[in-house]
Amino acid sequence: MIIKRASEFKSSEITDKAVYLKRREFLKAAGIVSAGAAIPGLLAARVEAAAQKLQYIKNKKYLLDESLTPYQDVTTYNNFYEFGTGKADPARNATHFKTRPWTITVEGHARKTGTFDLDDIIKPHSLEERIYRLRCVEAWSMVIPWVGIPLADVVKRLQPTSKAKYVQFVTLHDPKQMPGQGGFLGGGLQWPYVEGLRMDEALNPLPLLAVGLYGEVLPNQNGAPVRLVVPWKYGFKSIKSIVKIRFVESQPPTTWNLAAPHEYGFYSNVNPEVDHPRWSQARERRLGDGSFFAPKRPTLMFNGYGEQVAHLYRGMDLKKYY
């Protein structure tokens, strides 16, 4: 299969929206869309996701002069150990994952705590699209148009107190829906998945609580219904399917640091000068650039976002605090 970049498509090759909607109505009339089991696996998920368009504004401040990673790659090559350790496992195993209704519990040092409906945390009318790079620790990266709301906006609304020095996030723990949490598919990690940011990192304008990509509702395999995106850190910091936000006084544990502290630090900033113990991180391959043997490019400090975040780590030894 040959996959073109978005920039390589001619306007004549793009399916008109009206034609697409007519096709969907035909499928619905035939009883296919309403009965997802009638369409094998990923196709069923793709048809349903395509109908769930989001209303948002394009934030021109966060545009990148780079080709977007094809949707097919973004949604079929994933790290989401709750659904398996293989890159194709999440797309295959998350098809029937239930993301509605969805609530988020807020705990700890904040004035507004309790359990909230997702739409009360992520205001639908305030969604925006931002194009970010996201880099995986295994030396590959993507460029994705995310749709969401700045994490800083949510944090400020929850009104953390002066005791809150860190923000911890917790993923849903449901082995019945997430097979990786119930056995060998999850690679032996401790569940539920937990991550954290320092408060000043959380209040930086860059981190996004994402609910969509490419203008559509976030697919299950990409962390539905809400995930964190922290573009200057490695992708495993961008915790998925969040159900808890905790404001804490001490640095919280994080899943990969618990699993392998000599390999994964709390900060996990993209730093080409610090190699992973088992491979170099000085160069990366952009997913969608071509085959696995496509040339690599130099890894950028802070994934290219140094102008926005380098001040957060002034005076810190970034090899020690990796």
Tokens of 149: 């709301």
Beta partners for residue 229, in sequence order: 208
pTM as predicted: 0.84
Tokens of 257: 């640091």
Q: Where are the domains of the chain?
A: 13-51, 53-262
Contacts of 262 (CB under 8 A, 6+ apart): 277
Mean pLDDT of 26-36: 35
Provide the CATH topology of domain 53-262: Sulfite Oxidase; Chain A, domain 2 (3.90.420)
For residue range 189-226, what is the model confidence (pLDDT) as tens digits?
Answer: 999 999 999 999 999 999 999 999 999 999 999 999 99
pLDDT of residue 278: 92
pLDDT of residue 291: 65
Mean pLDDT of 230-237: 98
For residue range 110-121, what is the model confidence (pLDDT) as tens digits?
Answer: 999 999 999 999
For residue range 142-154, what is the model confidence (pLDDT) as tens digits?
Answer: 999 999 999 999 9
pLDDT of residue 17: 37
List the single range of 19-23, 52-56, 121-125, 277-281 with lowest mean pLDDT.
19-23
DSSP assignment of 47-87 equals: HHHHH-B---EE-GGG--SSPPPPHHHHHHS---GGG-SST
Between CA 297 and CA 11 the distance in angstroms is 30
pLDDT of residue 77: 95
pLDDT of 169 > 50? The answer is: yes
Average pLDDT of the chain to the nearest whole number: 86
pLDDT of residue 46: 43
Contacts of 211 (CB under 8 A, 6+ apart): 54, 118, 122, 127, 147, 148, 149, 217, 218, 224, 225, 226
For residue range 261-295, what is the model confidence (pLDDT) as tens digits?
Answer: 999 999 999 999 999 999 999 999 999 887 667 78
